[in-house]
Amino acid sequence: MNLLVVFFIITIVLVGYGLTLLIDVDLAVEERALYGVLVGVMVVSTVGFFFSWWADMSRASIIAASIFSLGLSGPGWRRAPARNVAEWRDFVRRIRLPLRDASSPAPLIAVVLVSAVVSVRILDIAYGTTADGGISVGHLSTFGDWSAHLAYAASFAYADNFPPELPTAAGESFAYHFGVDFFAAMFIPLGTSLQRGLQLSAGILAVAFPGIIYVSTHRFFKNRLTSVLTVLIFLAAGGTAALYRFFFEDLPENGLGVLGDLPRSYAFDGFQRNWLDNPVTGFLYPQRPTMIGFAAVMMGLALLWQARGTGDKRTHLAVGLVTGIMPVFHVFGFGVLIVLGLWWAALECYAARRVVQECVWFAAPALVVGIPLVGWQWPSSGANGRNYRFWWVLGEDFVSWRDTLPDFIWFWFLNTGVFIPLVVVGLVRSPELTKRFAPIFGLLLIANVGIWHFWVGNNAKYVVFFLLLGAPFAASFLTEWIRNGWFYKLGAGLVVVSLTLSGGLDIWRAFEGSSGAYPAGYMTGDDVLLGEYARDRLEADAVFAVANNNVHPIRAIAGRTVVSGSTGRLSDLGVDWDVRAEDLRVIFGVNEGFEDVISKYEIDYIVLGPEERRAFRPVDAPADWDPAQFWDAAALTVYDIGGYKIYDVREFQS
């Protein structure tokens, strides 16, 4: 990590911290620092996006965007220097207090340190090198979801993807919250590799997020134990599967040595009976936008709560602006903030029997900025693939669950344990918060009355927000138990273990790094050479026909636009992958009409390598079948190394 990268990270924190000084709510230094990381990432990324669109993505544009962002935070630094000094003096005073003192930030510091150790370790082993110069990966998340994120980030860094189009489906709008991947791409002109850009961008957010949960929860409940339990219950959630699989199968068979080579995931079983997965290994790590979405929701609600009834327009405006740009970073987080923010505004207006002006300061920027961004990112296929049905996956042909009430109850117990009843009791016992947070149960309702996305498993993205927003209430109830006698303490401990063991084991498995199939090969040395050639030697706006497998170097190293990426991920984004797959079959089979397909997608190059030969080989093909026999004669070969060939097919475009 070079000095430019270090200065860039420091700039992000300074920008965010300075902007928090513009709002009127009183925040502690640690809150400004943690919220500042999130706000700094969002602001610097947004400014950097427009600078790069205007002047190309380069070291100069990233530095200019950083300086401009610092300028935006300048009024905050100048606004109340005396208050800033007082806050730092107070922090120094509190940090010297004993742990038992309620004002001591020691528990928060411990949470951040643990998150730093876990995050740095997991991200450090995300990528490695193989003996032949290829790339290995350390976790399923890196092997799977990050293949798409590599392509997204690379498209900005190497392929001048402005205005943004989906690089994994030529001609499609970028119907994905790409903000965090653009943030990763900003590190590359500063001197990092593509993979390191993803690691650094994730690391900055991952270290701060548990702290953001802590300080936000503390704003609601003013209790450090509740805040710590909230962090633990949410991040280590994973259902109750480990209670049987670990204690009655794996531990008796292997003893404590099983912790050095855990044979399975305990919160995820390949979508058989477990459908939620652990928030860290199933959402935050693989689905990178959640690192911003989850944190922004917690921060936004905590700030609105703190500013309630004060007439604080600045804070409402700030949260409204953050909400407004959220669709670019995490559209689900945008939806949650909009619904709860407007609901809270309605409650305040009803209580005051008038339109509360500061609520308008939240709603106006949130809607005026956010709705057009949602429309811009809306998939071209609209609402296709959605249908109304009760009880989520229960009764589907591909699961063992039946659509009966006993299976419904057992499904939710296996996936969430006693979490839902704990949230109900905790919410009822917090009367000041009951009305404000009652709508979170709508997130469970949404998941159980329809299939809202092109893949049924995406309903979990609503449920995980229920876990996030319900965790403080479950933690507050358990805190009351812990304050009582030893019987209640023991009961609370057993409940916490039941809620966190499955997810905790999965986090340990990712942290330990040698369990199961990982580290595993990802791309060979020949794959890397191909990707680097396309990145460095071929046109940035070229369109390629390549295999539509999980990872391809043309996408994941060069960032070039392809006809079709991984079929499952395209389906998830509402793209007609089956049509594109058939079109690729026409090209690689040199079937009738291949010229029309080349013209349809304006394909510039065809790549013929091991995956293309395997994936598109006709069932009845003779033993010596090889499309290279045709393309060698029909098109210009621009690359021929390591079993890969690239053909220039622009002459076939009509």
447 plus 430 within the same structural domain: yes
CA distance 510 to 265: 10
573 plus 453 within the same structural domain: no
Q: Is the pLDDT of residue 399 over 90?
A: no
CA distance 343 to 353: 15
Confidence band for 268, pLDDT divided at 50, 70 and 90: confident
Burial letters for 586-623: b for 16+ Cβ neighbours within 10 Å, e otherwise? Answer: bbbbeeeebeebbebbebbbbbbbebbbeebeeeeeee
Global pTM exceeds 0.85: yes
Burial letters for 211-250: b for 16+ Cβ neighbours within 10 Å, e otherwise? Answer: bbbbbbbbbbbebbebbbbbbbbbbbbbbbbbbebbeeeb
- What are residue 293's DSSP bridge partners? none
Question: Is 176 contained in some domain?
Answer: no
> What does the block give as tokens for 74?
């300048």
Number of separate domains in the chain:
4
CA distance 119 to 285: 9
Question: Is 533 contained in some domain?
Answer: yes
Reading phi first (left if > 0) and then psi (alpha if -120 to 50, else beta), residue 311 is in left
pLDDT score at 398: 60
pLDDT score at 36: 97
Reading phi first (left if > 0) and then psi (alpha if -120 to 50, else beta), residue 171 is in left
pLDDT score at 383: 47
Please classify residue 4 by burial: count the beta carbons closer than 10 Å to its beta carbon, then call 0-12 exposed, 13-18 middle and 19+ buried.
middle
Question: Is 315 contained in some domain?
Answer: yes
pLDDT tens for residues 412-471? 898 899 999 999 999 999 888 999 999 999 999 888 887 667 777 788 899 999 999 999
Question: Is 445 contained in some domain?
Answer: yes
Q: Which of 378, 398, 424 is the last residue of a domain?
A: 378
pLDDT tens for residues 364-394? 999 999 999 998 887 765 545 556 666 777 7
pLDDT score at 531: 97
- Whether 150 and 199 have beta carbons less than 8 Å apart is answered as no
- Whether 616 and 654 have beta carbons less than 8 Å apart is answered as no
Question: Is 239 contained in some domain?
Answer: yes
Q: How many CB atoms lie within 10 A of CB 183?
A: 30
Name residues whose C-beta falls within 8 Å of residue 56's C-beta, 6 or more positions apart in sequence. Answer: 160
CA distance 177 to 549: 22
Q: Is the pLDDT of residue 219 over 70?
A: yes
- What are residue 388's DSSP bridge partners? 450
- Select, from the ranges 170-179, 193-202, 512-521, the one with the highest average predicted confidence (pLDDT): 193-202
How distant is the alpha carbon of residue 522 from its chain centre?
21
Average pLDDT of the residues of the chain: 91
Q: Is the pLDDT of residue 294 over 60?
A: yes
Q: How many CB atoms lie within 10 A of CB 434?
A: 13
> What does the block give as tokens for 99?
């742990």
CA distance 348 to 334: 21
269 plus 396 within the same structural domain: yes
CA-nearest of 24, 19, 32 to 310 is 24
350 plus 483 within the same structural domain: no
DSSP structural state of residue 609? S
Q: Helix H segments across 165-250?
A: 179-185, 194-221, 224-235, 241-244
pLDDT score at 459: 84
DSSP assignment of 124-146, as one string?
HTSEEE-TTS-EEESSHHHHTHH
DSSP structural state of residue 173? B
451 plus 556 within the same structural domain: no
309 plus 268 within the same structural domain: no
Question: Is 356 contained in some domain?
Answer: yes
492 plus 532 within the same structural domain: no
2 plus 67 within the same structural domain: yes
Question: Is 147 contained in some domain?
Answer: no
DSSP assignment of 251-290, as one string?
HHHHGGGGGGS--S-SS-SSSSS--S--IIIIIITTSTTH
456 plus 543 within the same structural domain: no
Q: Is the pLDDT of residue 305 over 70?
A: yes
Question: Is 136 contained in some domain?
Answer: no
- Which residue reads 């009738």 in tokens? 592
295 plus 273 within the same structural domain: no
- Whether 224 and 96 have beta carbons less than 8 Å apart is answered as no
43 plus 74 within the same structural domain: yes
Domain span at residue 295? 289-378
Indicate the Cα dihedral angle 86, 88, 93, 97, nearest 10°.
140
Pick 517 or 586 by higher pLDDT: 586
Residue 568: CATH number of its domain: 3.40.50
Angle at 334 between CA 181 and CA 108, to 5 degrees: 75
- Whether 51 and 182 have beta carbons less than 8 Å apart is answered as no
Q: Which of 337, 357, 378 is the last residue of a domain?
A: 378
Q: Which of 73, 104, 135 is the last residue of a domain?
A: 104
Q: Is the pLDDT of residue 264 over 90?
A: no
622 plus 498 within the same structural domain: no
- Which residue reads 């001197």 in tokens? 191
